[in-house]
Amino acid sequence: MNQILITGDENNKNKKEKQKKQKQPKMPKETTTVGINSIVIFFSISIIILGICLISGSVYAKEKINTTVEASIKPNVETIRNDDNNTLEIKVTHIRGISQIAYRWNNDDEVIINGNNQEEVSQVIDLLGGKNTLSITVTEENGQTVTYEKQFTVGNIPEITLEAVSNGVKLTATSEVEIQYISYAWDNGEPTQIEVGNTTYEGTIETPQGRHTLNIEVVDINNNKGTKEQVVVGDTAPTLTVNPARVDGKLVFTIDAEDDEEISRIEITLNDGEKQIIEVNAETYHGEVEIVDGENRLVVTAYNLNNLSVTSRKLFRN
């Protein structure tokens, strides 16, 4: 019996030892939990950092896009027409400063408006009679320029055309109704008045020597007023002679032109050939054009520095 009891105690002891050994492997579970937590924390931090980077990148990209979009924005130009007093308001707005506005009618001289780098600039100007093209060039504070063009047709005010001729300006005025009078003045001098009494007028105004500003005012019987201002240089057209001659045994046209300031260019056309343009930029010019067999129709035009011109036409049958 004693032996059996001892054996039973040993068996119980062995069972307890085995149970202890079986319980010991539970320790690695704590280690595994810590490892998983570390991985979760690492990925969480990585996601947060990635999110910050994406947000920062988005903000930078947005700023970059905004900068690019702003740089491409052009000035807004409005032309507000007032037919009650035949005026036109030029209104320019922009997100950047406006350095200057330059406008001109057709091929007239430009008129400059100082923008003083403001973001909104406006100016009221007079409309012209007839069909005219207004060009507006806006210069931004950074030096970039943008040009706009628009055509205006005005039938209720007289139309004025000026053309430079030798020693004067050719004035042509037309109106839908009778022109009452024309008034003109050089620079700030006293005006001279011409009575008209017709729907058209054509005449030459003598130009004083040098550079001057001519102011024209045409008034019809309804008191509608057309105005024009133009800078004119008092000058005479070049002299030009064209003659057939024999030079070195050949028949030619000799061409001689002279101006007291400068011959800018000579244009020559023989028969139906292509026009030849010769840049001169000197006070005198001499040239020769060979005469061909048959009929020779020669047209020569000489221009001076102020764009006054003289034309000679010759016909020679060989």
Superfamily of domain 159-234: Immunoglobulins (2.60.40.10)
Query: Residues 115, 97: contact at Cβ < 8 Å?
Result: yes
Q: When comparing pLDDT for 127 and 46, which is higher?
A: 127
Mean pLDDT for 8-34 is 51
Give the pairing of strands 192-206 and 276-290: unpaired
CA Rg value for the chain: 45
Give the pLDDT confidence of 122-144 residue by residue, as tens digits: 999 999 888 899 999 999 998 88
Give the pair of three-digit tokens for residue 311.
């034309």
Report the amino acid identity of residue 241.
T
Residue 154 class from Cβ within 10 Å (0-12 exposed, 13-18 middle, 19+ buried)?
Answer: buried
Distances (CA, A) of 217 to 130, 168, 262, 296: 15, 17, 33, 47
SS3 248: coil
Q: Would 76-154 and 159-234 be classified into the same CATH topology? A: yes
The answer to whether residue 14 scores a pLDDT higher than 60 is no
- Look at residue 242 in the predicted model and tell me its pLDDT: 96
Give the pair of three-digit tokens for residue 276.
């030849």
Which sequence spans correspond to the domains of the chain? Answer: 76-154, 159-234, 239-317
Distances (CA, A) of 186 to 111, 213, 268: 18, 6, 36
Q: When comparing pLDDT for 246 and 18, which is higher?
A: 246
Question: 30-39, 170-179, 265-274, 280-289: which has the minimum mean pLDDT?
Answer: 30-39
Say how far residue 254 (Cα) sits from the centre of its chain. Answer: 44
Q: When comparing pLDDT for 247 and 24, which is higher?
A: 247
Residue 82 class from Cβ within 10 Å (0-12 exposed, 13-18 middle, 19+ buried)?
Answer: exposed
CATH number belonging to domain 239-317: 2.60.40.10
Q: When comparing pLDDT for 192 and 36, which is higher?
A: 192
Vertex 80, ends 122 and 92: CA angle to 5°?
Answer: 35
| Look-up of token digits 């057709």 | 106
Mean pLDDT of the chain: 84
Give the pLDDT confidence of 248-297 residue by residue, as tens digits: 989 999 999 999 889 999 999 999 899 999 999 999 999 999 999 999 99
Distances (CA, A) of 316 to 268, 275, 289: 15, 18, 12
Superfamily of domain 76-154: Immunoglobulins (2.60.40.10)
- Look at residue 54 in the predicted model and tell me its pLDDT: 66
Give the pLDDT confidence of 193-234 residue by residue, as tens digits: 999 999 999 999 998 888 889 999 999 999 888 999 888 887
| Look-up of token digits 């409309």 | 127
Mean pLDDT for 300-310 is 91
Distances (CA, A) of 263 to 131, 163, 182, 258, 305: 33, 19, 34, 7, 6
| Look-up of token digits 């030892």 | 17
Local confidence band at 5 (pLDDT 50, 70, 90 cut-offs): very low
DSSP string, 116-157: EEEEEEEEEEE--SEEEEEEEEEEETTS-EEEEEEEEEE-SS
- Gap between the Cα atoms of 220 and 155, Å rounded: 12
